[in-house]
Chain A
Amino acid sequence: MSVQGRLVLGTVNALIYVFLLAPILVVVIVSFGDAAFLQFPPRRLSLRWYTNLGEYPDFVASFWLSLLLAAATAATATAIGTPAAFALARHRFRGRALLSALVMSPLVLPGLVTGIALLQFFSLFRTEPSFGRLLIGHVVVTVPYVVRSVGAVLVGFDRSLEEAARGLGANAWTATRLITLPLIKPGLLAGAIFAFILSFDNVVVSIFLTTPRLVPLPIQIYNYVESSARPIIASISTLQIAVIVLLLAAAERVVGFSRYVGGGER
Chain B
Amino acid sequence: MLLLGVYFLLPLALLLAQSFRPLVIGQPAPPGLTLANYVRFLGDPFYLGTLRATLGLGIFVTVLAMTVGYPVAYGLARGRHRGKALLRLCVVAPLLVSVVIRTYGWIVLLANNGVVNQTLLALGLIGEPVRFMFTYTGVTIGLVHFALPVAILSLVGVIEAVDPALEEAARSLGAGPGRTFLRITLPLTLPGLAAGSMLVFALTVAAFVTPALMGGPSLIVLSTLIYQQMTVTLEWGFGAAVATILLVVATGLFLLYQRLLSLAPGVEQPG
Contact (Cβ within 8 A) B99 A110: no
Contact among B89, B104, B231, B243 for A113, CB-based, below 8 A:
B243
**Distance between Cα atoms of A203 and B211 in the complex (Å):** 13
Contact (Cβ within 8 A) A244 B96: yes
**Distance between Cα atoms of A24 and B105 in the complex (Å):** 6
Please indicate which of the listed interface residues B4, B89, B107 has the most CB atoms of chain A within 10 Å of its own CB.
B4
Please report which residues of chain B, range 176-232, place their CB below 8 angstroms from some CB of chain A when the two chains form the complex: 177, 199, 202-203, 205-206, 208-209, 212-213, 223, 226-227, 230-231
**A106 contacts which chain B residues (CB < 8 A)?**
8
**A226 contacts which chain B residues (CB < 8 A)?**
212-213
Contact (Cβ within 8 A) A207 B71: no
B148 within 8 A of A: yes
**Distance between Cα atoms of A34 and B213 in the complex (Å):** 25
**A116 contacts which chain B residues (CB < 8 A)?**
15, 226, 230, 239-240, 243
Contact (Cβ within 8 A) B4 A102: yes
Encoded as 1 (CB less than 8 Å from any B CB) or 0, chain A from 98 to 139 comes to: 010011011011111110111111001000000000001101
Please report which residues of chain B, range 70-119, place their CB below 8 angstroms from some CB of chain A when the two chains form the complex: 71-72, 74-75, 85, 87-109, 111, 114-115, 118
Assuming the contacts A121-B11, A241-B101, asked whether A112 and B90 have C-beta atoms less than 8 A apart, the reply is no
Encoded as 1 (CB less than 8 Å from any A CB) or 0, chain B from 228 to 251 comes to: 001100001001100100110011
A9 within 8 A of B: yes
Encoded as 1 (CB less than 8 Å from any B CB) or 0, chain A from 204 to 234 comes to: 1001100000000010011001100100011
24 contacts between A and B (CB under 8 A): A16-B69, A20-B94, A21-B93, A22-B109, A24-B94, A108-B251, A108-B255, A109-B250, A109-B251, A110-B223, A112-B223, A113-B226, A116-B15, A117-B15, A117-B243, A121-B7, A201-B98, A207-B227, A218-B101, A225-B104, A237-B100, A240-B97, A264-B95, A265-B154
B39 within 8 A of A: no
B57 within 8 A of A: no
Least CB distance, A120 to chain B, in whole angstroms: 5
**B236 contacts which chain A residues (CB < 8 A)?**
120
Contact (Cβ within 8 A) B105 A229: no
Contact (Cβ within 8 A) B97 A201: yes
**Distance between Cα atoms of A222 and B208 in the complex (Å):** 11
**Distance between Cα atoms of A103 and B177 in the complex (Å):** 45
Overall SS of chain B's interface = helix
**A204 contacts which chain B residues (CB < 8 A)?**
208-209
Assuming the contacts A117-B11, A140-B7, A203-B209, asked whether A23 and B98 have C-beta atoms less than 8 A apart, the reply is no
Least CB distance, A175 to chain B, in whole angstroms: 24
Assuming the contacts A2-B177, A140-B4, asked whether A20 and B98 have C-beta atoms less than 8 A apart, the reply is no
Contact (Cβ within 8 A) B102 A24: yes
Contact (Cβ within 8 A) A240 B240: no
**B100 contacts which chain A residues (CB < 8 A)?**
201, 203, 218, 221-222, 225, 237
**A202 contacts which chain B residues (CB < 8 A)?**
98
Overall SS of chain A's interface = helix
Please report which residues of chain A, range 19-41, place their CB below 8 angstroms from some CB of chain B when the two chains form the complex: 19-27, 30, 38, 40
Binding site for B on A (CB under 8 A): 1-2, 5, 9-10, 12-13, 16-17, 19-27, 30, 38, 40, 80, 83-84, 99, 102-103, 105-106, 108-114, 116-121, 124, 136-137, 139-140, 143, 197, 200-204, 207-208, 218, 221-222, 225-226, 229, 233-234, 237, 240-241, 244, 248, 258, 261-266
B9 within 8 A of A: yes
Least CB distance, A180 to chain B, in whole angstroms: 20
B12 to chain A: closest residue by CB: A117
Contact (Cβ within 8 A) A16 B254: no
**Distance between Cα atoms of A187 and B41 in the complex (Å):** 45
**B264 contacts which chain A residues (CB < 8 A)?**
none
Q: Which 7 A-B pairs have the closest CB atoms?
A: A23-B105, A110-B206, A121-B11, A201-B98, A117-B11, A117-B15, A237-B101
**B203 contacts which chain A residues (CB < 8 A)?**
266
8 new A-B contacts, CB < 8 A, other than A13-B72, A120-B11, A225-B100, are: A19-B68, A22-B105, A80-B4, A113-B226, A113-B246, A120-B18, A124-B14, A233-B104
**Distance between Cα atoms of A102 and B91 in the complex (Å):** 30
**A103 contacts which chain B residues (CB < 8 A)?**
1, 4
**B91 contacts which chain A residues (CB < 8 A)?**
20
Contact among A2, A117, A203 for B208, CB-based, below 8 A:
A203
